[in-house]
Structure 1
Amino acid sequence: MEQSALHRRGLGLRGVDYSTVSPGYTLFAHLTSPGTVRLIANDGTEAHRWDLPYRPGRHAEILPNGNLAYNGVHPDSPHLFPLWQKYRGGVMMEIDPDGKVISEHRDPMAHHDQHHIGNGQILYTTVEALTEEQSKSVLDGVPASEAPDGKVYADCIKHVDKDGSLLWSWKAVDHLSPEIFLLQPHYPREHWPLINSVYPLRDGNILASLRSVSAVIIISRETGEVIWHLDSKVVAQQHCASELADGSILIFDNGTFRHHESATYSRVIQVDRSTKDIVWEYRDPHPMTFFTPFMGGVQRLQNGNTLITEAAFGRIFEVTKEGKLCWEYVNPHFADYKGLDAQELEKYFNYPANALFRAYKYTPEQIPWLKK
């Protein structure tokens, strides 16, 4: 009998409602692949593929010019702590449809998110080691769970131009109050506050998701101060915060250790920026059957539908405004970390996985080269 529950439940295309699904193609990078990015049509067939020289450092996107933005794992990044191997990146590439590298920026301390914002500029997340005194100021978390070198690593955000020159930077240690942004008690002290997404807002400020303190914040580009804060009473180890056309904030809320709830489930929420009220929400009709403890993605599509990535289980699905499922696909490709220069992860994730960080969908008009 097949021992994998994911295989038994079914892989590949699980269903499609052509009357309500958004037209287009879904892009994803399989995390335990050597560097494979796939573009999938609504019928589940592979429309295009890139085989790249670095395993995925989280995800890929298609840029407005039609090229691929890819975050690959830096071959010479330091070994800070075991899970650093899982979510580090560092090779930020722009690649044309034929696989030719157009540009590349490298930072061995980069992790999680990169955002190409035009003219070759990139906004992305990194870490730096704190001093002993700074490390003591980081509160809570699991006692004595610092990195093997005894240090706490804290997040930074960088904005660079096409030549790699620094245009703007921000450091968590300089602008976050440790008393307000506490590590959650079950979280290791090796990394604070663990920024897993960073997004440039239309007003010029920066939206960021802080996983290990369960917070979504807006950072003033001018002063570096936090000017908006959605805390753990609303979100729980969330991911993928982005701004919608009306200024509201779309968030994948993982639900791990959710405030005052014992039942664990994931959801997607749309939050009004001025009131912090939830104005739209998606949960599965049976809430506990939609859950990923880490990672996760969400994208509002042009027709009003929402694409969701249930990341740890390789599941991508699309729902309508009314929350009706209209497309579902499960990554059928499985692999473990052996041979990917990630030995620290082999004991943590010693099984073939189909996990994704996040997926994105594009209309045919956004990838005209595909017709050619």
Structure 2
Amino acid sequence: MRFNKVSVSLLLALGLSCAAPVASQAVPTTYPTGVTFYNPEKAYNGYTILAGSACLIDMNGNLVKRWNSKDGMPNKILPGGRLMTSGETWKDGQQDKTSLVTLDFNGKKLWEFRDWQNVPAIPGQPQKDGKTPIARQHHDFQRKDTPVYFTPSAGSASSDAAETTLVLSHTNEKIARIHPSMQLVTDVLLEVDSKGKVVWTWKISDHVDELGFTDAAFKAMNTFPPSDNRAAGRHGTKIKPGAGYDWMHINCASYVGPNKWFDAGDKRFNPDNIIVNSRDSNMMFIIERATGKVVWRLGPNFAPGTEDFKVGQIVGAHGIHIIPRGLPGEGNILFFDNGGLGGYGAPTPDRPVSGFHNVQRPYSRVVEFNPVTKEIVWEYDWHKNHKGLLGHMDFKFFSPFVSYAQRLPNGNTVITEGDMSRIFEITSDYETVWEYLSPYADENAGILYRSYRVPYDWVPQATHAEEVAVIPPANSLFSLPNAKGEYPNTGVQGDMVKASLTAAQTHAEESDDEEFEDEAATSMHNY
């Protein structure tokens, strides 16, 4: 079959099945993208940087700047309009990136780290003696001279290279206690100097006895790949040189930073210490930088009667961090509690054979809690916030992978609901003041790993459009035309909001089906 070479994503969005078949799914196949709601008076106005494709948008969703980077895991804006981002993905690794780089506003490379491990030569990458040095960075990084995200006290400029940069990376090893035969993908923390040289390392497998695992948990790890959990296949059983069983899957790492707990004498919260989260074990913990010991932990046991029960069972969480000084809630831990599957332990009704990912929850929540008392301070949870008949619709806020939450200077929280490629900003009493659905989702396997809001003056080179409120129409008035451009007569009162076919009627070049192979169909959620 041959068809006009219009944008396939546009054709799919318009429901034109004559161009390509639309796969069956449990969510709408067509919905608006860009900013769908915006209250300029209540939102914290600034730029938003997206992970994956390095797109910087303004409050009305206009593309302000796009850097030539597609693998940012995540992308972070530094004061002065620079981008810190990941290099290319190493195809033989487990989400490993070849480098970590800082780019100026025009895309010039200012700093690079890649000197962690040497791997077989990668075409197009630096080589020496048949090897290519790569960073194996994944999921996170932080410059020590910059807060985990913007605070009012942060300056609007900084050096091109930090004296110290924290990098979350990987190595491979075999440990019979974890698994009798599989190659492990083990998380390591690195500190890198301004010249891109590693000056400190920490490896999770050296501290496994500090993590509270039971004998049943170790037995569950040994069952990989489990017979009663298809989702575990995201680890990959066909071992590439750098891939394997990603047994802890640490997905965030940041410095504790200045805080009131340390000021009051609690040494566990030394600003130089590092807080991380393990997605697969349902656990977050703080590492003492000076000794490498685990000095604070939440999980993996959330049973009634335990201190951790006050926070509630976490499942597959992302984005754990301590809210930086100068922001509402400073010193508390804020994170996106995904739900889905996670944990190791005794078999449960969900995992009756293996005990692998033995905890399951079908909705997400965002949690802020006091790390000393482990009491919840604030929570966004559809399950709790919507009582009665609506309470069963947990799926209305559910991203079992990726995602993030950031506290803003005005007390709002901006939330990345990653599996929906959706970002929304809410007030402390849950009023939505901004909502955005990424039009770049198809470039990133349909997901959005993270996003960050920064003030306008952090990117002095950019200009943004006027901030204009966005008030969406009633859904009953939003309709799409058929292939002839005809709109349905629904009988609903009001002016129809019409989608234009103009873009789809231009550039009518002929093309073969093979040029539109759906890569997303073979991709896996492994974040």
TM range (shorter): 0.7 to 0.9
What is the match of residue 16 of structure 1? 38
What is the match of residue 277 of structure 2? 209
* Mapped pair 1:109 → 2:216: no
What is the match of residue 138 of structure 1? 178
- 1:178 Cα shift? 8.0
In structure 2, relative to structure 1, the CA distance for the partners of 1:63 and 1:179 (3 Å cut) is closer
* Mapped pair 1:291 → 2:398: yes
Structure 1 or 2, whichever has the larger Rg, is 2
Contact residue 258 and residue 264 of structure 1 kept, 8 A: no
What is the match of residue 197 of structure 1? 252
What is the match of residue 452 of structure 2? 360
Count of aligned pairs: 332
- Cα distance in 1 for residues equivalent to 2:443 and 2:62: 24
Name the SS for the 2:419 alignment partner: helix
- CA distances 1:188-235 after superposition (whole Å, capped 9, x unpaired): 570121110000112210000111101111001111111111114332
Contact residue 254 and residue 293 of structure 1 kept, 8 A: yes
What is the match of residue 368 of structure 2? 270
- Cα distance in 2 for residues equivalent to 1:270 and 1:197: 16
What is the match of residue 239 of structure 1? 318
Contact residue 55 and residue 67 of structure 2 kept, 8 A: yes
Name the SS for the 2:67 alignment partner: strand
Q: Pick the aligned partner of 1:43 from 51, 55, 60.
A: 60
Name the SS for the 2:314 alignment partner: coil
- Cα distance in 1 for residues equivalent to 2:86 and 2:342: 30
Name the stretch that deviates more: 42-51 or 170-179.
170-179
- Cα distance in 2 for residues equivalent to 1:160 and 1:314: 32
- Cα distance in 2 for residues equivalent to 1:195 and 1:159: 16
Contact residue 69 and residue 116 of structure 1 kept, 8 A: no
Name the stretch that deviates more: 278-287 or 60-69.
278-287
Name the SS for the 1:125 alignment partner: strand
- 1:115 Cα shift? 1.4
The percentage of counterpart residues that share the same residue type is 30
- 1:287 Cα shift? 3.2
* Mapped pair 1:167 → 2:199: yes
In structure 2, relative to structure 1, the CA distance for the partners of 1:154 and 1:178 (3 Å cut) is farther
Name the stretch that deviates more: 173-182 or 91-100.
173-182
Name the SS for the 2:138 alignment partner: strand
- 1:168 Cα shift? 1.7
- 1:179 Cα shift? 7.2
What is the match of residue 60 of structure 1? 75
- Cα distance in 2 for residues equivalent to 1:321 and 1:251: 15
Contact residue 309 and residue 315 of structure 1 kept, 8 A: yes
What is the match of residue 319 of structure 1? 426
Q: Pick the aligned partner of 2:337 from 246, 253, 257.
A: 253
Name the SS for the 2:86 alignment partner: strand
- Cα distance in 2 for residues equivalent to 1:49 and 1:206: 31
- Cα distance in 2 for residues equivalent to 1:193 and 1:97: 36
- 1:89 Cα shift? 2.0
- Cα distance in 2 for residues equivalent to 1:95 and 1:336: 21
In structure 2, relative to structure 1, the CA distance for the partners of 1:214 and 1:241 (3 Å cut) is same
In structure 2, relative to structure 1, the CA distance for the partners of 1:217 and 1:317 (3 Å cut) is same
- Cα distance in 1 for residues equivalent to 2:342 and 2:377: 19
- CA distances 1:267-313 after superposition (whole Å, capped 9, x unpaired): 11012110111111112445321111111111111111111111122
- CA distances 1:105-140 after superposition (whole Å, capped 9, x unpaired): 113422211212234232111222223xx2x2126x
Contact residue 138 and residue 178 of structure 1 kept, 8 A: no
Letter in 2 for 1:313: M
Question: Which runs of no fewer than 5 residues in structure 1 stay unpaired?
Answer: 338-352
Question: Which runs of no fewer than 5 residues in structure 2 stay unpaired?
Answer: 1-13, 16-21, 115-133, 146-160, 236-243, 258-270, 303-312, 349-358, 387-392, 465-527
Name the SS for the 2:205 alignment partner: helix
- Cα distance in 1 for residues equivalent to 2:80 and 2:374: 34
Letter in 2 for 1:193: M
- Cα distance in 1 for residues equivalent to 2:72 and 2:449: 9
Letter in 2 for 1:282: Y
CA RMSD between the two structures: 2.5
Contact residue 57 and residue 90 of structure 1 kept, 8 A: no
Q: TM-score, normalised by structure 1?
A: 0.82
Name the stretch that deviates more: 214-223 or 1-10.
1-10
Letter in 2 for 1:239: H
Name the SS for the 2:457 alignment partner: helix
- Cα distance in 2 for residues equivalent to 1:334 and 1:199: 26
Letter in 2 for 1:236: V
- 1:336 Cα shift? 6.2
* Mapped pair 1:157 → 2:189: yes
Name the stretch that deviates more: 211-220 or 107-116.
107-116
Matches within 5 A, 1:320-339: 320-335=427-442
Name the SS for the 1:191 alignment partner: coil
Letter in 2 for 1:15: F
**Which one has the bigger strand percentage?**
1
